[in-house]
Amino acid sequence: MTDTDMWEADEVEDDEVAEPETYFGSVDEFVRDFLVTQYRREISPMSQFRWDARWWLHPEAVSRLEALWRAWEHLRNDPATGMSVWWRDHADHHMGVLLSADGPFGKTSDTTEPGAPLPYAPPPPALYPDVRALPN
């Protein structure tokens, strides 16, 4: 076997390395099973925090929540500072915008009691398929 053969073999092996599977199968699962339980704010049209249980109706919110989910999936694999980086650089920024009175949920009327999880309503079933079940 020549050196060239070994390099080509290494390239094939590198190509065969699968991307790590996501923990959450969709942005909806991420929001439902993680995000809404982590944020405990008093939500109301009169408070400083706003949220819509039907977050999936707001394009800006969907884009920001997708970004949060993807960043969480990437950073969860860093056992040292991954989650701290996610909270500081991603969650704090995007959730600050999403929850603000002038953010995408600014005109919504959902409410929660202090300490309760954020409101959640499921999106239409086919809107967010589980990416773990999709063919590669």
Is residue 25 a contact partner of residue 132, using CB atoms and an 8 Å limit? Answer: yes
Contacts (Cβ under 8 Å, ≥6 apart) of 3: none
Dist. CA 98–CA 105, nearest whole Å: 7
% the chain with pLDDT above 90: 81
The reported pLDDT for the residue numbered 2 is 47
User: 37-83: per-residue pLDDT in tens?
Assistant: 999 999 999 999 999 999 999 999 999 999 999 999 999 999 999 99
User: 98-115: per-residue pLDDT in tens?
Assistant: 999 999 999 999 999 999
The reported pLDDT for the residue numbered 34 is 98
